[in-house]
Structure 1
């Protein structure tokens, strides 16, 4: 069983923790957050985000929606120390490539030959059609639909319910 520390205790952090509970191969040992929250969903706060240095022997998942902050923390932790968390209801084709530190939420579909970089968020009910590329630190909100062959560039955010037509390259946030 892999032990992981979650960085972030906001709404997305709670969703990530709940997803870990449904994965028998992962165990959350605590979370780091700068808020006054001391525990949630039975998981205790271990310290502030800057306390990462105290836990170098552990693996991390960065449960923060802000792409720039997620990138900064991911670089601080190091890609090899990031854990990808996938909800058991997600359908992912066998030839899909998924990087480190990604979050794949409830009822997500990722179709053939798509590639996800590191530290990406794909939220509830999003669909990634075949041959898509999501670059590092990108973020799909709830219910996003990517047509086939779409490329989402590094740190781009796609707002809930957006439809990105096939073959497009998205270089900046769509809100």
Structure 2
């Protein structure tokens, strides 16, 4: 049995806790608050502050560290820090998720209950694959993507880095979604989406180009 530190003690942290408990891999689970996000009350679990620990020694006292925040930028920053420090980054797959033997799920990703990652699909580092998400065959989900519950992504689709996909989105096959896209809840994506945009609707249309697009 292993010791797990969940770095992030907000809503995503509590979801991560339940997934970790379901795997029955861990004898001890603690939390480290993300300073930028604060924390919520998590009864019966120790929540450390970033200001009260010596990072390298503290983090290396755990067998695995898992970054738990829905903010893609913060998740990327924290996981990058862990890689630099040579800390073991956890991967969490709920026992009620279905992962094809030919699929790949990289470090720092969580796959929640009733999600499906099908044949030859790849899910990158630090992704959130939420409850009942379907990622079909030969899809590529790049690093630090956040996919909300009940999303369905058809085969041969590529989702760019740090994209957020809202709840109940449907994406047809052979679509390319650029990096740092926001897809509104309930959208139906039937054509490629350029990077650094927000799209909504049925069918999904661009309503905003992000200011950080260079």
TM over 0.5: yes
1:67-109 alpha-carbon deviations (Å, 9 max, x no partner): 0110001101117621001111101111111100100001101
Give 3-state SS (helix, strand or coil) of 2:182's partner: coil
Off by >6 Å, runs of 4+ in structure 1: none
Question: Does residue 88 of structure 2 align to residue 81 of structure 1?
Answer: yes
Partners of 1:7 and 1:49 within 8 A in 2:
no
**Structure 1 position 174 matched with structure 2 position 183:** yes
Change (3 A) 1:50 1:63: farther
Match of 1:60 in 2: 65
Whether contact under 8 Å (1:20, 1:28) holds in the other structure is no
Which residue is equivalent to 2:208?
A: none
Stretches of structure 1 that go unaligned for 5 or more consecutive residues are none
| Equivalent residues of 2:126, 2:144 under 8 A apart | yes
TM-score by length of 2: 0.76
Residue 47 (structure 2) aligns with: 45
What do residues 115-150 of structure 1 show as CA deviations (whole Å, max 9, x unaligned)? 011111000010001000011111111111001011
2:3 paired residue number? 3
Alignment coverage as a number of residue pairs: 174
Cα RMSD (Å) of the superposition? 1.8
Which structure would you say has the larger RCO, counting Cα contacts within 8 Å and 6 or more residues apart? 1
Structure 2 unpaired stretches of 5+: 185-214
Aligned partner (choices 146, 149, 172) of residue 142 of structure 1: 149
Rg larger in structure: 2
Q: How high is the TM-score relative to the length of structure 1?
A: 0.92
Counterpart CA distance in 2 for 1:7 and 1:75 is: 13
Find the aligned partners of 2:51 and 2:126 in 1 and give their Cα distance: 17
Q: Does structure 2 retain, via aligned residues, the 8 Å contact 1:139–1:155?
A: yes
Aligned in 2, Cα 1:27/1:162: closer, same or farther, shift over 3 Å?
farther
* 1:71 and 2:76 are equivalent in the alignment: yes
